[in-house]
Amino acid sequence: MGLMKERIDRIEGLKREKNAIILAHNYQRAEVQDIAEFVGDSLELARKAMETTSEIIIFCGVDFMAETAAILNPDKKVIIPDKGAICPMAQQLFADDLLVAKREHPDAEVVLYVNTLAESKALADCICTSANAQEIVKAMDAPTILFGPDHNLAYYAQKTTSKKIIPVPEHGLCPSHHQIALEDLIKAKEAHPEAKIGVHPECIPDVQDNADYIASTSGMVRICKEVEYAEFLIGTEVGLLHRLEKEAPGKKFYPISTTAVCPQMKMHTLEKIEVALEKEKPEVVVPDEIARKARRAIERMIEISK
């Protein structure tokens, strides 16, 4: 029996023994996706974390996703196999900076991307993900919205509303998506002229404006499976191609940029997952007061995007 197969068997045994579940984001390594009970986008993972009856959640994603699961499930143990999986975008908006922006715009409501620190979420009126950003902004009461930290997602949210969206900070971005250039898209289209173009709303406006579809990671999987086309250019982190190829085996998928890799998402390995299950750590713990306030904003999002 190969070493990898032995490890997978041990992980499966530990999951059963401890009543644990593995939730994995769409950008995880292929082998991590393959041993997860559920693979999805940020919104789906938050929902799954709420639904599960398992006592332990092994969360294979970045810090803010695991924190969201912990905030929504104060009675469960949420474990992240590598604590270093920290989303750089979420580090671009600290609570103090948000407080300054709120003081400057006292009548604005605050919509924060789920890719934020729990302390910042605690100051938000509502959270959004890439799957519901346009819907959430439209559902807010105020005509002015402070929106952060991703200014590319703010551009996307602005497309379907006449509300005034103020990005905070001015130029928050995801390094992996921001580097996908219009020239990459043009070259990829020249190489595959029949392919439809699907991109994530964290991409720059020029890339969004030249795409056929803009969607969350799972949204892209759904679209590529449903539409009749056979070839797609994909503008997001390359990890999504594993799910696309698995779930739409007859179709062809090409990354617009092969260097669109999120190193933090790749930190979780089977080895680290086995250790995390054995030791039941590192646990993700959000202080009660912050969790209580952040939960309100996350639950408001879930309520709106039912």
What is the Cα 243 distance to its own chain's centre? 15
Using CB under 6 A as the binding rule, the residues of this chain from 99 to 138 that contact ligand SF4 are 115
Q: Which long-range contacts (CB under 8 A, 24 or more apart) does 284-287 make?
A: 284/59, 284/63, 284/66, 284/67, 284/69, 284/70, 284/78, 284/79, 284/80, 285/70, 286/67, 286/70, 286/71, 286/118
- Cβ contacts of 13 within 8 Å, gap of 6 or more: none
Q: Say whether residue 130 binds ligand 13P (CB under 6 A).
A: yes
284 close to 66: Cβ distance less than 8 angstroms: yes
Task: Out of 120, 216, 257, 264, point to the residue binding ligand 13P (CB under 6 A).
Answer: 216
41 binds ligand 13P (CB under 6 A): yes
Q: Which does 88 bind (CB under 5 to 8 A by kind): ligand 13P, ligand SF4, none?
A: ligand SF4
Q: Which of residues 258-277 bind ligand 13P (CB under 6 A)?
A: none
CB 148 within 8 A of CB 98: yes
Residue pointed to by tokens 């799910």: 243
Q: Which residues pair with 255 in a beta bridge?
A: 234
Please select the residue that binds ligand SF4; options are 18, 88, 91, 272, rule is CB under 6 A: 88
Q: Residues 217, 247: contact at Cβ < 8 Å? A: no
HSE on the CB side for 267, CA within 13 Å?
A: 17
State the nearest-atom distance from the C-beta of 274 to ligand 13P, in Å: 25
109 interacts with ligand 13P by CB under 6 A: no
Which region, judged by CB under 6 A, interacts with ligand SF4, from 66-74, 173-181, 211-219, 293-301?
173-181
Q: Is residue 62 at the binding interface for ligand SF4, with CB under 6 A as the rule?
A: yes
Which of 68, 176 has the CB closer to ligand SF4? 176
Closest CB to ligand 13P among residues 129, 208: 129
CB 138, min distance to ligand SF4, A:
23
Using CB under 6 A as the binding criterion, the count of chain residues that bind ligand 13P stands at: 10
Look up residue 245 and give its two tokens.
């190829």
- The site for ligand 13P (CB under 6 A) is made up of 26, 41-42, 115, 129-130, 174, 202, 216-217
